[in-house]
Structure 1
Amino acid sequence: MEKKRRLIFYKDYFNDFFDKLPEKVKGKIDEVLYMIMVLERIPAKFFSHMTAYDGLYEIRIEYSSNIYRIFCCFDEGSLIVLFNGFQKKSQKTPQKEIDKVLKIKAEYFEEKNKQNKNGKK
């Protein structure tokens, strides 16, 4: 299947989260990430814009009554940058997780802008 989007993992934030998960949860996350890459329209059940936070999206995964969220954003059109993830244990996304991802997102774009100013891509 042709890819509609490309995923990158910013630093080790996502991998640190992913590596600690049970194998079956990792498999489910892999399935959802694949869907995000290849489907023209991603079902809202798996991917949604966090309207209160400019340009921030969350990938939603449910497995065996557990809920996981992975924060991400778009960059350069069809590039999706994955940041950190966490296991959701309450109805509302914890503010500390939002604060953390906003800091990571700002760090990503700062680094990118510095690289562009230095002539690197």
Structure 2
Amino acid sequence: MKKVIFYETMAGKSPVEDFLDSLSSKQAQKAAWVFCLIEELQIVPTKYLKKLVDTDDIWEVRIDFANDIFRFLGFFDGAELIILNHSCPKTILQ
């Protein structure tokens, strides 16, 4: 079972938590649901978790809610831990 945690600075601030706090209640609920899905599923669909191409193990948590798209970047620390250290809204559809 994987565990999703958020990066914290030495001062105890978490950029990901700050970003989540800026979302609407429904957007934050969808993000929490995706994080739970990642923790609970042995094999997570690439719709929600995908390794970025040509990177040294940087992973993208993908959250689509209505017309909003959010991305959280992070990495595995061992086989069971994801540390999310960056988040942003995606503004360009590809």
TM-score relative to the length of structure 2: 0.89
SS of alignment partner, residue 85 of structure 1: strand
Equivalent-residue separation in structure 2 for 1:42 and 1:26 (angstroms) = 20
Structure 1 moving runs of 4+ over 4 Å: none
Equivalent-residue separation in structure 2 for 1:90 and 1:20 (angstroms) = 20
Equivalent-residue separation in structure 1 for 2:15 and 2:55 (angstroms) = 19
Shift of 1:91: 2.9
Q: Which residue of 2 aligns with 1:9?
A: 6
Deviates more, 1:51-60 or 1:29-38: 51-60
Choose 1 or 2 for highest CA Rg. 1
Equivalent-residue separation in structure 2 for 1:70 and 1:20 (angstroms) = 14
Amino acid of the structure 2 residue aligned with 1:57:
W
SS of alignment partner, residue 67 of structure 1: strand
RMSD: 1.0
Equivalent-residue separation in structure 2 for 1:31 and 1:22 (angstroms) = 14
Total equivalences in the alignment: 89
Q: Which residue of 1 aligns with 2:26?
A: 24
| Greater fraction of residues in helix | 1
Q: Which runs of 5+ in 2 are unaligned?
A: 9-13
Equivalent-residue separation in structure 1 for 2:72 and 2:39 (angstroms) = 15
SS of alignment partner, residue 58 of structure 1: strand
Q: Which residue of 2 aligns with 1:84?
A: 86
SS of alignment partner, residue 54 of structure 1: coil
> Which structure exhibits the higher relative contact order, with contacts defined as CA atoms closer than 8 Å and separated by 6 or more residues?
2
| Greater fraction of residues in strand | 2
Shift of 1:21: 0.5
TM-score relative to the length of structure 1: 0.70
Q: Percent identity of the aligned residues? A: 29
Q: Which runs of 5+ in 1 are unaligned?
A: 93-121
Equivalent-residue separation in structure 2 for 1:14 and 1:84 (angstroms) = 6
Q: Which residue of 2 aligns with 1:57?
A: 59
